[in-house]
């Protein structure tokens, strides 16, 4: 387990701030042991809560060209056939994963491939489970073209709390299955759009682990 680069600066300044708060409490509340203890405990809890937002687990990726891996830790909230209108321009199977504040926030490549399309869309901050969040919220759209020519589209979507999306890809870049492609601070949602003949092996309500859970099997 490591600390993700997106959180290191924030955690450093938070630690300095909490240190100053506790030093000040020791000086000005020297006769109030209970108050100082509560401030210390509260500081520790706050730091640990923020720390867990930025944890980055280390594990082995079991790569398979036939498998679509979960791009994020979270819960499957949508499985449906839909029309993808931005890039693929056709019917696709959509799987949506909701990331809560307690999930790991690293986003990983569901398949191996070359990035054939990338676009950032500014937008609203509707709650992540809102039906229009996929098209109206701040989001990024990424498409990976596999060796066999199949293109898989996946989309990071901001929510009411998560307002910082980071995506590290560029068009033409080759990325491995399970490799990190982005980060969403404090949760939100990731959508994956797959060919219509894809066999889905998860169901709504399933808990996913990014880079480990198999979402679907490609034909």
Range of the domain at 10: 2-56
Q: What average pLDDT score do residues 5-21 get?
A: 90
Helix axes 33-53, 5-28, angle to 10 degrees: 180
Split into its structural domains, the chain has a count of: 2
- What is d(CA 155, CA 140) in angstroms, rounded to the nearest whole number? 5
203 and 114 both lie in a single domain: yes
61 domain residue, yes or no: no
* Entry pTM: 0.83
pLDDT tens, position by position, 42-82: 999 999 988 877 888 888 899 999 999 999 999 999 999 99
d(CA 180, CA 211): 9
Residue 136 lies in a domain: yes
Q: Is residue 62 part of a domain?
A: no
Q: Are residues 209 and 120 in the same domain?
A: yes
- Give me the mean pLDDT over the 20-31 stretch: 88
Kindly report, residue by residue over 136-181, the tens digit of the pLDDT. Answer: 678 899 999 999 999 999 999 886 655 578 899 999 999 999 999 9
188 is catalytic: yes
CATH number, position 92: 2.70.70
- pLDDT bin (cut points 50, 70, 90) of residue 101 is confident
Marked catalytic residue, from 43, 96, 134, 188 = 188
Strands (E), 100-187: 106-108, 113-121, 139-145, 151-157, 165-167, 174-175, 180-184
CB-based contact 189:176 (threshold 8 Å): no
| Contact criterion met (CB below 8 Å) for 179 and 142 | no
């Amino acid at each position: 387990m490591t600390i993700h680069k997106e959180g290191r600066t924030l955690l450093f300044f938070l630690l300095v701030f909490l240190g100053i708060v506790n030093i000040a409490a020791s000086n000005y509340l020297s006769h109030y042991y209970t108050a100082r203890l509560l401030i210390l405990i509260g500081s520790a809890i706050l730091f640990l809560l923020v720390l867990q937002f930025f944890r980055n687990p280390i594990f082995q990726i079991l790569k398979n060209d036939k498998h679509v891996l979960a791009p994020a830790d979270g819960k499957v909230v949508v499985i449906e056939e839909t029309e993808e209108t931005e890039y693929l321009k056709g019917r696709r199977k959509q799987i949506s994963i909701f990331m809560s504040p307690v999930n790991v926030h690293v986003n990983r490549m569901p398949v191996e491939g070359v990035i054939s399309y990338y676009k950032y869309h500014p937008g609203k901050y509707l709650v992540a489970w809102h039906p229009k969040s996929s098209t109206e919220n701040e989001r990024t759209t990424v498409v990976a073209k596999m060796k066999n020519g199949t293109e898989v589209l996946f989309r990071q979507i901001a929510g009411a709390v998560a307002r910082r999306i980071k995506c590290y890809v560029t068009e033409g870049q080759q990325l491995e299955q399970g490799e990190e492609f982005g980060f969403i601070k404090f949760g939100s949602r990731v959508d994956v759009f797959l060919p219509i003949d894809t066999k889905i092996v998860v169901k709504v309500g399933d808990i996913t682990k990014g880079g480990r859970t198999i979402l679907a099997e490609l034909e």
